[in-house]
A and B are shown apart, each in its own frame.
Chain A
Amino acid sequence: MQVLASGQAGLFAIQTGTGFTVEYLDSGKRTSADARDIRYHFAGCTDVTTLTVKNEVEARSLTELAWSADRAVRLFIILLDPNEPPADLVEVGEALDELLALPGVEERVEYQLFSAPLPQPIEVKAVLGSLAGAHLSTALLTRFLNLQSIIGRVRVAFDTIEDALFDEASPRERFFRAGDRSW
């Protein structure tokens, strides 16, 4: 079956004979959507994908993964925000740990985060101190910091590739928009 899904929106839409059945992950509510109004459900989301799945369970599971990765990236970026008081980062680390514990999330988060080096230095000690109980978040942040020079070199190399070598319109922009959504 064909499904439209977005982690950002936290919903998926199963194609039916007459339109779509939309399911919201957070509430579990379902609604029938017309093919004519489906565009409103995904308005503003940059991660809408068409999935071919065996059943609803698979659709829900893949959308959950997309949602978890989206929120984990966002929470990680909050950790790097110099304007965040370290005391407030405790809850961020706890929420991030919950998501990183889910299968497949950490890998997806790394795909996005490791595409660009840190835009500005952070107070590493203070941030790590706030993550005392959040072991997965601590490990991810440590790995990210340790890989900064490699990430930076790869990014510079990628930036030097000529646009003409890509075989579609604006691929570089899409690549970075996907990774840089909230930097």
Chain B
Amino acid sequence: MAIGTGPLLCDKCGTEIAYSSRECAGCGRDIGFPNVRAADQPVEIAALQDRVRYAQRRAAERNCANELETFGTAASESKAVIARPMSVLDSMVSNKQSAMQTYHKMVRIGARLPENNAWDANRDRIEGTVHPFGVYEHIQYAALSLDGRGVHWYGNCSVTLKEGMIADRASVFEENPFIFCDKHPIPSTGSLPPGFRATWPRRGELAMAKLHPRIQPGMTGLDFPAILVEQGASSAQSDFIEVNIYGAIIAKAIEHVILEKPTRRADRVIWKRIQRDLESLGVHVEEV
């Protein structure tokens, strides 16, 4: 729901739905997740489809229309992958009551202090631009991936999440919102331009809209993972479509883990335990 596109009403009782609500204030009905509602607004879908049509025209001009369609189909089957240091995965897996929480929740419960630097100070403003009215405090970030690998600079564990555990509460966003907000300056009273986010089922469309310039004639499925997640030569040069997942993530949501084999003895000993715990949860573990 882009701000200024009119009120959204509960289809059961007609009460106006507040942007950040999880349930209708009138009848208490579960009205879904605010980030998904926002991405599912007609104005967002229409703008995204405009971008897709533009991408298709440009691809046709470059003789790679079929490749773009194949890429879009592949991306619509992509997974949400979180890259984290091994110790974060360990906390999540070793304590069954533990959940991966958002930065803002950790700050709120006192598990983490906001850093005294300009970037943490800006987090609320930038993340609040994409998910206003406090919704950003509930959002966890992952990357859309076709090969189970997240951006490797962000952690030596790539954790693929089960689609069934996130599909209802996940939306996707064009890119790192800090970068987006630099490219698209938004006035203080303005809101996010439509067409740069999508619901989970429409993630393939967003991938086509964003990444069509990188599709080339003759590309096949083997080329697509590196298109969807650009593993840059540096962290700053990496790029991906951000998956925004509302709420905590527990170990049961993990489908697959790829780990760069630890080099230090302590980490190898700890990893052995994590691996055992993951396998007991039915998670497929891959060491590289």
Contacts and interface: CB of A to CB of B under 8 A. Distances in A.
A95 B108 contact: no
Interface residues of A, number: 56
B110 A22 contact: no
7 contacts: A34-B179, A39-B123, A43-B155, A46-B106, A50-B116, A174-B110, A174-B111
Interface in A34-82: 34-41, 43-46, 48, 50, 68, 70-72, 74-75, 78
Given A32-B235, A33-B234, A183-B95, A48 B112 contact: yes
B269 A75 contact: yes
Interface stretch (A2-10, A110-118, A134-142): A2-10
Interface of B: 82-85, 87-88, 90-91, 94-95, 98, 100, 103, 106, 108-113, 115-120, 123, 141, 151, 153-156, 176, 178-179, 182, 234-236, 238, 262-270, 273
A75 to B, nearest CB: 6
Interface of A: 2, 4, 6, 8-11, 15, 19, 22, 26-27, 31-41, 43-46, 48, 50, 68, 70-72, 74-75, 78, 84, 91-92, 94-96, 98-99, 169-175, 177-178, 181-183
Contacts of A98: 265-266
Contact of A26 (B84, B90, B263): B263
Contact of B110 (A2, A44, A50, A173): A173
Nearest to B153: A31
A172 to B, nearest CB: 8
Contacts of B266: 68, 71-72, 74-75, 95-96, 98-99
